[in-house]
Structure 1
Amino acid sequence: MDIYVLVGIVIFLALAFDFINGFHDTANAIATSVSTRALSPRVAIIVASIMNFVGAMLFTGVAKTIGGKVADPAKLEHGVEIVIASLLSAILWNLVTWWFGIPSSSSHALIGSLAGAVVSAEGFGGINYSGFTDIIKGLIFSPLIAFTIGFIVMWLFKQIFAKSSPHQINKGFRTGQIITAAFQSFTHGTNDAQKAMGIITFALVAANLQSTLDVPWWVKVAAASSMALGTSIGGWKIIKTMGTKIFKIEPINGFAADITSASVILTATLTKLPVSTTHVITSAILGVGSAKRFSAVKWGLAGRIVISWIITIPVTAIIAALIYRVIALFM
């Protein structure tokens, strides 16, 4: 098949992944502000769409990490086919978890899929182990950090506002959540939209259509626009899980969770590490809930979410490996 046709398929699938990522992960950025009625669902989605686009346009470090740290696209004989298999696997996983309302990670799905497809095509020697390990460390430690910081922030809020009127406190924090929801959506764009940019750039290098991992301007605009459009659709099943089923969130809790997760995600972006915004935001909510009252958190649901986190990378790696073998039969 003509290389330009293959690259065209990659671009279509990458933008589809970004679109699905937008409506899959929209809930993460706005769930707390919607559940506390700081923002109406319609306004929250508009804010999230705009801020996702702005965030996506301002950074490219994570895209370069995705494009070059899992494997070197210039050294792969079938790099474009590998990307196609990776994207099909990640999209399938995102749709399945969205359908069941599970806040799983698009980042884990893409990283796991890319690694599985590379191994299927090139063997384990095709993996850049040092870079891949760095990414995995970021994916593992970021939710732990978010949980810890969320717990500390909420504990401090409890000490500071212990003698204040709950009604007045929640009224003030409900207003503050408008700002934190916008900030969280912005940081979501700075990290998540870059993953599609990185995978398209990976394919362009693998196809010898460019020699560096610098993200072309048109790729940035296309990926940012796809994520913003997907965000405008929303993910109501996951909003329900994130905003109501983990524990009963009040405005002060939502503010603490939002400011925690947004800070962790932005720090990861500045250090060029792809993290799971889903994991970070969920972990921040769990940390805040634990500080509010440990027994208030529905740990059974939290456990099921964690299980989905653990299985995402190996399951998507296997799916991508199988998809690549099917593609190889026809190419």
Structure 2
Amino acid sequence: MEHITLLIGIVIVTALVFDFTNGFHDTANAMATTISTGALGPRVAVAMSAVLNLVGAFLSVEVAKTISGGIIDEGSGIQPEVIFAGLVGAILWNLVTWLAGLPSSSSHALFGGLIGATVVSVGMDGVNGDAIVMKVLIPAVAAPVVAGIATVAATRLTYRLADNRAAEDTAKGYRAGQIASAALVSLAHGTNDAQKTMGVITLALVTGGVIAPDSDPPMWVIVSAGLAIALGTYLGGWRIIRTMGKGITDIQPPQGFAAQTGAATVILASSHIGFALSTTQVCSGAVMGAGVGRKGGVVRWSTAGRMVAAWALTLPAAGLVADAAALLDDHGNGGIAAVAVLAVLGCGVIWLLSRRKPVDASNVNAPGAESAEPVGVVTAAVRSVAPPPAGKTASAADATDGTDATDDADTSNAHASNVSGSTSGKDASSESAPTPATAGTGSTS
């Protein structure tokens, strides 16, 4: 076997950079609901998730085999620079969606980058179409739907079981359940997503002649991929945590527990059979299902719509960036160097833009962090059919409707003042009585 060349070393480093971005991009999958409900503090949550992502990386290599020998044909003549171009496309798309706070799929960014670069370099023959359809596209559509439906049922069952219990009696149980289910999602994420980077590095080693085709990832690849995704997870993708924890729906502890349990089940089952699905899509679908499953809970469909649009754009967008990178790579070492420089500059610009309105552990749950967008037609219709339970604290979305509790208080004050004026026996009551009512009406305008 040949030694690792400089180019293969660059590809390995770039793959680990992608793995790092995958970690902080997907921290929200496991910890957004746990942080938003206060079950765990932000820093403790991401630290726990990081450790479990590392552990999960050692549990299986089935998904890694799907990447290294399933989607891309190892014998089609692709070279390490093609993999480098694909990784650049995936990294830049990950950072763009992180800047926007959109929980898009790191997995699909990787697939899109690899497919786009391969098509430009060796043609469609280098791509295994059947594997893409069966192990990528079908799971991409089915997994979030299955997770959402399962979570709707789990949420309704959870609330029904606790229907006759006081909230304070069940709080500790739900907190423990959320922590356990978040740990399970983190473990599942490491099992699924860390393997994708292992598969990419293994593919680079095969194309460079370092290891034989159809080889399992070497142990040093497994360790390095696990450490990279764990480090990224620990830093926390706070922008996406805010969107998933606050922007899709207002999560309560029972919903968080149901969403995380449903998502973990789907991810672990898919990892076992080698489906390289998007953990982001699964967890987002579960959060939406939790919003639908709670009586009075409302999903902010405009936010969900932007997420779905990002999902649809991920494969082609990452593929187009990888196409351009692959075309530059064809110009030899100078082209590869140009791609590397442009990628670093692009990452730097995105990071500088993110500093304008930084989001971190100190403000991820700050008041007003939830979506402040106007209530749409779908949300208003759902509320008219399933209003929030009595005694529910008004959310920020409620406030945009102007339906907060001050309306009732002001109306009551006006009514009490009118009654007082009418029974005072004074001739001036007809003039003074409307005054409090007017004030009450004005205070709600």
User: With structure 2 as the length reference, what TM-score do the two structures score?
Assistant: 0.72
Partner of 1:118: 118
3-state secondary structure, aligned to 1:104: coil
Alpha-carbon distance in 2 for matches of 1:181, 1:233: 17
Partner of 2:63: 62
Alpha-carbon distance in 1 for matches of 2:80, 2:300: 43
Which 5+ residue runs of structure 1 have no aligned equivalent? Answer: none
Paired residue for 1:265, among 267, 284, 290? Answer: 267
1:1-331 matched pairs, under 5 angstroms? 4-73=5-74, 75-135=75-135, 136-211=137-212, 212-293=214-295, 296-331=298-333
How big is each residue's C-alpha offset from its partner over 1:274-325, in whole Å with a ceiling of 9 and x where there is no partner?
1111100010000111111476111110111011001111111111111101
3-state secondary structure, aligned to 1:296: coil
Alpha-carbon distance in 2 for matches of 1:213, 1:168: 53
Distance 1:295 1:53, change over 3 A: closer
Distance 1:291 1:89, change over 3 A: same
Alpha-carbon distance in 2 for matches of 1:283, 1:182: 18
Alpha-carbon distance in 1 for matches of 2:226, 2:34: 23
Structure 1 residue ranges (4+ consecutive) displaced by more than 4 angstroms after TM superposition:
none
- Alpha-carbon distance, 1:273 to partner: 1.0
Alpha-carbon distance in 1 for matches of 2:326, 2:292: 43
Contact 1:169/1:252 (CA < 8 Å) preserved in 2?
no
- Alpha-carbon distance, 1:5 to partner: 1.0
Contact 2:249/2:297 (CA < 8 Å) preserved in 1?
no
RMSD: 1.4
Structure number with bigger Rg? 2
3-state secondary structure, aligned to 1:58: coil
Alpha-carbon distance in 1 for matches of 2:269, 2:317: 28
- Alpha-carbon distance, 1:160 to partner: 2.0
- Structure 1 stretch displaced more, 252-261 or 314-323: 314-323
Alpha-carbon distance in 1 for matches of 2:142, 2:51: 29
Contact 1:76/1:206 (CA < 8 Å) preserved in 2?
no
Contact 1:138/1:275 (CA < 8 Å) preserved in 2?
yes
Alpha-carbon distance in 1 for matches of 2:244, 2:88: 26
Which 5+ residue runs of structure 2 have no aligned equivalent? Answer: 334-445
Contact 1:154/1:292 (CA < 8 Å) preserved in 2?
yes
Distance 1:54 1:3, change over 3 A: closer
- Alpha-carbon distance, 1:250 to partner: 0.8
Contact 1:15/1:226 (CA < 8 Å) preserved in 2?
yes
Contact 1:177/1:255 (CA < 8 Å) preserved in 2?
yes
The number of aligned residues is 329
Alpha-carbon distance in 2 for matches of 1:130, 1:289: 35
Contact 2:86/2:113 (CA < 8 Å) preserved in 1?
yes
> Which is helix-richer, 1 or 2?
1
Alpha-carbon distance in 2 for matches of 1:186, 1:264: 13
Distance 1:134 1:36, change over 3 A: same
- Alpha-carbon distance, 1:167 to partner: 3.0
User: With structure 1 as the length reference, what TM-score do the two structures score?
Assistant: 0.96
Report 1 or 2 for greater relative contact order, CA contacts < 8 Å, sequence distance ≥ 6.
1
